[in-house]
Amino acid sequence: MLTTTRQGRLRTGVRTAPGSPYAAVCVAFDRGYLDDPASHVGLAHLYEHLWFLRAPADLTLEWGATHDHATVLHHVCPPDEVPVVLAALADRLADCCAPSPVAAHGIRSALRLIELERRGGQERRLSGFPRRQIARLLRADPQFEPTAVAPAGPELVELVDGFAHGVAVAVCVAGPEPGWSAGDLRRSLGGAVPGAGRPRPGPPVGGAWQFRAPEGNACAAAWILPPDPATAAAAWVLGGLIDRGRPPTGLHWLSGRVLSPRGTEPVRGGLLYALAAGLDPRRPLDLAPELLLPVLAAGADDLAAVRDTLPDSAPDPGELAALDALSLLHGSPRFEAVLAATRQVDHAALLRFVDLLAAATAAAGTDALVGR
Amino acid sequence: MSAGRGSVATDGTVGTLDLRLAAGTLRCFATGEAQPRLQVRTGCVPGEDVSLRLVHDALVLPRLRDCFTRLAPTRPVTDHERLVGVELTVPQLDAGQLLDQAAEALASGRQAVSAARADDLDLDRVIAVLAAVRTRGSHDLATLATLGSAPGGPVHQVAGARLTARQVTERLIDGGRAVIADAPAQADRVAGAAVLTATHGPAPAPAAVESEAVGGPEQDLPIRLPRPAAPPRWLEVESPRAELAYLQLRRAIPQVATVRALAAALVANQARFGAYSSVVDDAIRSELAASYLWDCVVDLTRGEFLMLAAPAVEDADRVARLVLAEHAGGAALSRRAVATARRIVRSALLRRIGPAQLVLTTQSEVQRAGLPIEFTASLLAAVQDVGHEEVAAARDADDSPTPAVTLVLPAARPR
């Protein structure tokens, strides 16, 4: 199903996704918005926009996403057009990884679009998960603004030019019949991504934070969990149970899967897991892991029903290619390992998961309670 | 990808049942899923008065959900956060049972509409809330203002005047009240018909029902796209919630008689107006950096391309003019531009038949547009096959009317 290679700073993955009518190619750089320099927050998001301005600009369906520790570029095409797309992406990668400054005009255009995007986002402000606060905690900077527009100037041009230098890059293909291996893919791209990657720091695995959500009487908590399939599977199943049941007494609402439909989000060296809840005003502002215990009181039928529906929401090739790329960059478990582990999730496994959260919360102590 | 007659391909393009009864239509498609899925939508025909749709959503949709919940737990089907139908996973497909259920839901809905009274304050409140919710966001506001401004629609516009979001909401509510005041006569139109679209995996198509022939990818398949009344040429609406301007441009799909002609028109449109790497996209997003959003959606049920942009207020006219200028003229299409456009159109179509849930949405749209069951498979084959000359000829022969523009602008805010 999946073959991978690692050489220097290039990682490649090729996955067969039987039955998929289309193919996806994901390029991911091991730099996200949490890695932005303090002087130029917004750099990774800018880089994401600039990717699509690089030649050849007329390619296929493509879009990007800036993650905590990765800049992810998605490209979707008919299976028979993968070679054309890969050849074009090799040119773009070579352009990124060689000293060839991007045009200042491109940077100006991208910065203006990012500013418009930011203003447009204010109109359709989403209620719910406090993603910005989580980013601030992981970055240890209460003023951090993950959607900031990087300040323009000559320094920015230099930072953009150097963005990918020494950074690990993953290129992953998922499609019905790729017809080649990860080794073939590496050989076709190797010249475009020379050199070795520099290791980058990630957040502490085992970290735990609780904080006040920005709107309403809500509370949220975030953890960095060890990147093993069993933990990821428990988080995914628990998310399904939370969605299926009513919120535990004392909570107006509870959400445990907003970070990703798969329950957790890969970050460098770990898995980010978060919960958010609307609290009864009479209750202290604290989202203790014990509040999850009532969710676990769900019957065996509910647990089986959740487990049975998870394969139905299997990722499409675009998401699979991105998951593979993040797995290669950050050491997060492969999707099929997580899916297989969900079949083993029983009541005891969920209790162990809640214990893991509780232990991390206790270890973090009161310093982890932010916003009281 | 697409399969020939009698094929067992399970990519969601091969129809295995096409049934039309008084209550509506039922189509089934083969996919690789273990359990059959069903999407049910009810409602009025494309181009119908938006007030009817408002009353429909208040009185018929809840009954649709109640009826089908008896078969299996239902999930909401939404379009831009608006509830439009239900979806469910069923143990097996029983065509007779499904159509009976749809007939019952429609009968219940018709009865509710017939019994509706103008002095029912609860119903009046529901209509008011629905209208208010659906005119909050710029996209929905633009859509309802535009469709409501069609001849006979509730949103009357004085030529040259700019509407406000409040006016649009109030006129929609008034339109809904007018429908309720004439409820017994309007019941059939409000309830409309049911469109049931199902996917099934290894299990055979529903038995005991006469099935029509399964079609293959016939590229000369005759088609006729819906052609509702043209919207106003230029419409402006002020919204107190808007931060940026929001543009909707509606361009009729050129008149085509076959799937292959449509494929050429789609590729030509992508090269000129498409969301990725088109003449307009390059100009608006790369050269001018005037809008972070540029999208071009194909709406088969209305037979039109819907183009969307979110520019700053000072750039809105420039963006609209740029689109209108490309429509009026523009340069010839190069071979490279056509090859890119074809790759993008194919990719977009293939993505729409990827997950089974999208298969349902895609095939339901085809069904509601009154297009043949073989349409999707035929279109995929035609898009892959159509050459540069045909696309260039389709571009030159494009005689669709000037696109209609709806512009939502931020209302002046009190200091």
**What per-residue confidence (pLDDT) applies to B205?**
64
Helices (H) and strands (E) in chain B, counts: 14, 12
Contact (Cβ atoms closer than 8 angstroms) between residue B305 and residue B296: yes
Domain identity same for B249 and B331: yes
B181: containing domain? 11-200
Write out chain A residues lying below 8 Å of B282, CB-based.
57
Q: How many residues does chain B have?
A: 415
Q: Is the model's pLDDT at A193 over the cut of 90?
A: no
Output the average pLDDT for chain A.
86
Contact across the interface for B243 and A123, Cβ inside 8 Å: yes
Model-level pTM? Answer: 0.91
Q: Which CATH number goes with the domain that contains B380?
A: 3.30.830.10
User: Distance from B400 to chain A by nearest Cα, in Å?
Assistant: 26
Topology of A208-370 in CATH?
Answer: Cytochrome Bc1 Complex; Chain A, domain 1 (3.30.830)
Write out chain A residues lying below 8 Å of B354, CB-based.
20-22, 316-317
Total CB pairs under 8 A between chain A and B: 89
Nearest CA in chain A to B377: A21
Cα within 13 Å of Cα(B223), Cβ side? 32
Amino acid at B344: I
Query: Which tens digit of pLDDT belongs to each residue from B237-260?
Result: 999 999 999 999 999 999 999 999
Write out chain B residues lying below 8 Å of A109, CB-based.
285-287, 289
DSSP A41: T
The total domain count for chain B is 2
CB-nearest to A22 from B287, B291, B347 is B347
Q: Give A154's pLDDT tier (boundaries 50, 70, 90).
A: confident
Contact across the interface for A76 and B351, Cβ inside 8 Å: yes
CB-nearest to B276 from A62, A119, A123 is A62
Tell whether B214 is covered by a domain.
no
User: Distance from B150 to chain A by nearest Cα, in Å?
Assistant: 28
Contacts 24+ apart (CB under 8 A), A339-344: A339/A233, A339/A310, A339/A311, A339/A314, A340/A229, A341/A229, A341/A230, A341/A232, A341/A233, A342/A233, A342/A236, A342/A237, A342/A307, A342/A310, A343/A307, A344/A230, A344/A233
Choice among A251-255, A301-305, A316-320, B230-234 with the minimum mean pLDDT: A251-255
Backbone φ and ψ of A316, nearest 5°? -80, 170
Domain identity same for B175 and B36: yes
**What per-residue confidence (pLDDT) applies to B202?**
66
Instruction: Give the list of residues 6+ apart from residue A210 with CB closer than 8 angstroms, or none.
Output: A219, A220, A221, A286, A287, A361, A368, A369, A370
**What per-residue confidence (pLDDT) applies to A83?**
92
Nearest CA in chain A to B34: A312
* Average pLDDT for B141-152: 89
What HEC string does A329-345 produce?
HHCCCCHHHHHHHHCCC
Domain identity same for B148 and B294: no
Domain identity same for B247 and B335: yes
Domain identity same for B196 and B240: no
Tell whether B228 is covered by a domain.
no
**What per-residue confidence (pLDDT) applies to B213?**
45
Q: Give B208's pLDDT tier (boundaries 50, 70, 90).
A: very low
**What per-residue confidence (pLDDT) applies to B46?**
66
Fold identical between A2-192 and A208-370? Answer: yes
Domain identity same for B28 and B170: yes
Report percent pLDDT > 90 for chain B. Answer: 72
More confident: A361 or A30: A30
- The domain ranges of chain A are 2-192, 208-370
Among all chains, which residue has been given the structure tokens 């980058």? A200
**What per-residue confidence (pLDDT) applies to A212?**
76
- Please spell the DSSP secondary structure of A8-36, one letter per residue: TTEEEEEEE-TT-SSEEEEEEES--GGGS
Domain identity same for B248 and B386: yes
Write out chain A residues lying below 8 Å of B73, CB-based.
none
Domain identity same for B238 and B373: yes
**What per-residue confidence (pLDDT) applies to A123?**
54
Say if A59 is an interface residue toward chain B (CB within 8 Å).
yes
Q: Can you read off the two tokens belonging to residue A269?
A: 């060296």
Q: Can you read off the two tokens belonging to residue A206?
A: 């085992």
Domain identity same for B105 and B194: yes
Tell me which CATH homologous superfamily contains domain A2-192: Metalloenzyme, LuxS/M16 peptidase-like (3.30.830.10)
Domain identity same for B250 and B169: no
Say if A124 is an interface residue toward chain B (CB within 8 Å).
yes
Over its C-alpha atoms, chain A yields an Rg (Å, rounded) of: 21
Write out chain A residues lying below 8 Å of B1, CB-based.
21
Say if A61 is an interface residue toward chain B (CB within 8 Å).
yes
User: Distance from B278 to chain A by nearest Cα, in Å?
Assistant: 8
Q: How far apart are CA A341 and CA A229, in angstroms?
A: 6
Tell whether B217 is covered by a domain.
no
More confident: A271 or A203: A271
Say if A20 is an interface residue toward chain B (CB within 8 Å).
yes
Q: Give A283's pLDDT tier (boundaries 50, 70, 90).
A: low
Contact across the interface for B355 and A53, Cβ inside 8 Å: no
For residue A281, the SS3 value is coil
**What per-residue confidence (pLDDT) applies to A215?**
61
Domain identity same for B196 and B238: no
Query: Which tens digit of pLDDT belongs to each residue from A126-145?
Result: 445 678 888 888 898 988 98
Q: Is the model's pLDDT at B65 over the cut of 50?
A: yes
* Nearest alpha-carbon partner for A55 in A99, A88, A25: A88
Tell whether B216 is covered by a domain.
no
**What per-residue confidence (pLDDT) applies to B383?**
97
Interface residue of A58, A113, A125 to substitute, partner B, most B CBs within 10 Å: A58
For residue B234, the SS3 value is strand
Say if A89 is an interface residue toward chain B (CB within 8 Å).
no
Q: How far apart are CA B69 and CA B84, in angstroms?
A: 16
Strands (E), B281-403: 291-299, 304-311
Q: Give B114's pLDDT tier (boundaries 50, 70, 90).
A: very high
Contact (Cβ atoms closer than 8 angstroms) between residue B185 and residue B218: no
More confident: B108 or A213: B108
Q: How far apart are CA B205 and CA B37, in angstroms?
A: 12
**What per-residue confidence (pLDDT) applies to B2?**
35
Say if A76 is an interface residue toward chain B (CB within 8 Å).
yes
Query: Which tens digit of pLDDT belongs to each residue from A54-102?
Result: 888 889 999 999 999 999 999 999 999 999 999 999 999 998 877 666 6
Q: How far apart are CA B71 and CA A101, in angstroms?
A: 61
Query: Which tens digit of pLDDT belongs to each residue from B356-389?
Result: 778 999 999 999 999 999 999 999 999 999 999 9
Nearest CA in chain A to B244: A120
User: Distance from B118 to chain A by nearest Cα, in Å?
Assistant: 34
Q: Which CATH number goes with the domain that contains B68?
A: 3.30.830
Say if A317 is an interface residue toward chain B (CB within 8 Å).
yes
Say if A123 is an interface residue toward chain B (CB within 8 Å).
yes
